[in-house]
Amino acid sequence: MSAYNSYLAKPENALRRAHELAAISQPHASLALLHETLSSRRHKTWSPTYEKIILFYLDLCLDLGRAREAKDGLHQYRNLSQSQAPGSLEGVIRHLIEKAEAKCREAKELAEKGGGEVKPSTVMAAAATADATGGGEAVVVDVAITTDEPIMMDDEIDLYDGNPQSILLSTMSSNPEKAQRETALLFPALKFLWEVYRAVLDILKSNSKLERLYHGAAVSALRFCAEYKRRVEFRRLCDMMRMHLGNLTKYGGVNVAKFEDGGKNNKVRVNNMPFLVEVSEIVVVSSCE
C-alpha cells in the first residue's frame, strides 16, 4: 500500500503536501507524491488542480534533471486532459518547452562566460502553516533544489542514445577548459531539452486538436539542432517526423495534400529555410569528416 494514500483521496491535499515537502528540501519525495497522484486511477475527471499539479511536477523534473519522469508525467496528463481540456494540455506543454529552453540558454551563457557552478533553480514552495484549528495562511519559501547526482563526464553522457566515442568526437575543441565547462554545464540541459522535444512530438503526433502545437514544437526542435549543432539529433528528428507523417497517412486516413491548402505551410517553409540550410550543411560536413 502506498505511503501517500491519505493524500491521494483529494488532489488538493497531494498538491499542498508536495509544496510542504519541497519547502523542507525534499524535492524527490515531492516528485514521487505528485507522480503517484497523476498516475492514480481514483480520479479520471480533469480539474484545474491537476493543471497546478503537473506544472509544479514539471518544474521539479526540470530542477532535478529528470527527463524520464517529465515524459511520463506528460503522458499521464495527456490521458487525463486531452478530451476534457485540450487547452490546458497545450499550456502545460508550452510551459515545459519554454522553461527547458530558458535553462539551456542560461547553461550556454555560463559555459561561454567561464562561470563556476550552475546556480540551482529555485522552486517557490508554498508551505502551509496551519494552526491548531486547521487554518492559517500559506507562507512562500524559496528553496534551492539541487540534484544529488554526480555531474556526468564526456564519456558518460548519452545525449542522443549514441556511443561515448561519437560524443567525444562531437565535442573536441581547441579550448579544453571550455569543453569541460560545456560538459558539466551545458550537456545536461541539452539532454533534457532534447528529451522534452521528443516527448512532446510523440504525445502530439496523433492529436488533431493540437496540430499547430506539434508544428511549433517541430520547428523549435529544428532550431535547437541548428543552434547547438546537433547533427545526430537532426537526423533522428527527421526520421521521427517522417515516421509520424507516414503513420498518419497509412493508419489515420490523413490526406497529406490537405496540408498544402492555403499556402501557410509553404510560407513557413520559406521562412525557416535559412536555419534548415544551416543544419543541412552541418550534416553534410559531418558525413565528410
Contact status, residue 35 vs residue 61, Cβ threshold 8 Å: no
The region of weakest confidence among 189-193, 263-267, 281-285 is 263-267
Q: Which of 156-160, 239-243, 244-248, 269-273 shows the highest mean pLDDT?
A: 239-243
Name the more confident of 277 and 240. 240
Q: What is the mean pLDDT of residues 84-90?
A: 92
pLDDT, position 209: 85
Contact status, residue 93 vs residue 221, Cβ threshold 8 Å: no
Angle at 115 between CA 114 and CA 116, to 5 degrees: 120
pLDDT tens string 99-138: 999 999 998 888 877 754 444 443 433 333 333 333 343 3
Give the helix, strand, coil percentages of the chain, each rounded to 5: 70, 5, 25
pLDDT, position 207: 84
Cell numbers representing residue 163 in the block: 556511443
- φ/ψ of 138, rounded to 5, equals -80, 135
Which neighbouring-strand residues pair with 144? 122
Q: CA-to-CA distance for 220 and 27, rounded, in angstroms? A: 29
The region of weakest confidence among 68-77, 79-88, 89-98, 165-174 is 165-174
pLDDT tens string 153-182: 333 344 544 444 445 444 555 566 666 666
pLDDT, position 7: 66
pLDDT tens string 18-63: 999 999 999 999 999 999 999 887 767 899 999 999 999 999 999 9
- φ/ψ of 152, rounded to 5, equals -80, 140
Name the more confident of 247 and 64. 64
pLDDT, position 33: 93
Q: What is the mean pLDDT of residues 253-260?
A: 56
DSSP, collapsed to helix, strand or coil, labels residue 173 as coil
Residue 75: which pLDDT band, with cuts at 50, 70 and 90?
Answer: very high
Q: CA-to-CA distance for 106 and 84, rounded, in angstroms? A: 35
Residue 286: which pLDDT band, with cuts at 50, 70 and 90?
Answer: very low
The region of weakest confidence among 71-80, 137-146, 198-207 is 137-146
pLDDT tens string 186-242: 888 999 999 999 999 999 988 888 889 999 999 999 999 988 888 889 999 999 998
